[in-house]
Amino acid sequence: MPSTSPWAGWLNAEIYDAFVEEFGIYRALNRRLAALADVASARRVLDLACGAGATALACLEKMPARSELLGVDGSEAMVGMARSRVRDPRARFRVAAASDLERVLSGPFDRAVCNAAFWQFPDPRAVLAAVARVLTPGGLFVFNVPAERLADEDAPVTPFQVALARAIEERSGIPFPTPEPLDPRRLTSGLGEAGFELLRRDRLAYSAHQVELMELMSIPAMIRRLAPELSEGERETALADARRRTDPEQRVTVPWVYWVTRLGAERRGGRPAQSHLGRPK
DSSP state of 150: B
Query: Mean pLDDT throughout 47-70?
Result: 97
* pTM for the model: 0.91
- Write the DSSP assignment of 222-270 as a string of letters: HHHHH-TTS-HHHHHHHHHHHHHHS-TT-EEEEEEEEEEEEE-SS-SSS
Query: Mean pLDDT throughout 114-129?
Result: 94
- H helices within 23-120, ranges in order? 25-36, 54-62, 76-85
Domains of the chain: 10-149+180-207+254-263 (3.40.50.150)
User: Is residue 254 predicted with pLDDT exceeding 80?
Assistant: yes
**What is the per-residue pLDDT for 18?**
95
Residue 267's pLDDT band (cuts 50, 70, 90) = low
* CA-based R_g, the chain, Å: 19
- How far lies 225's CA from each of 105, 120, 235, 255, in Å? 29, 10, 11, 20
By mean pLDDT, which of 5-14, 140-149, 226-235, 242-251 is the weakest?
5-14
172-211 pLDDT, tens digit each: 999 988 878 899 999 999 999 999 999 999 999 999 999 9
Residue 4's pLDDT band (cuts 50, 70, 90) = low
Give percent of the chain above pLDDT 70: 93
Residue 271's pLDDT band (cuts 50, 70, 90) = very low
C-beta atoms surrounding 74 within 10 Å = 21
The dihedral built from the CA positions of residue 15, 33, 185 and 150, taken in this order, carries a sign that is negative
How far is 268 from 214, CA to CA, in rounded Å? 42
* Spatial contact of 112 and 48, defined as CB atoms under 8 Å apart: yes
**What is the per-residue pLDDT for 160?**
97
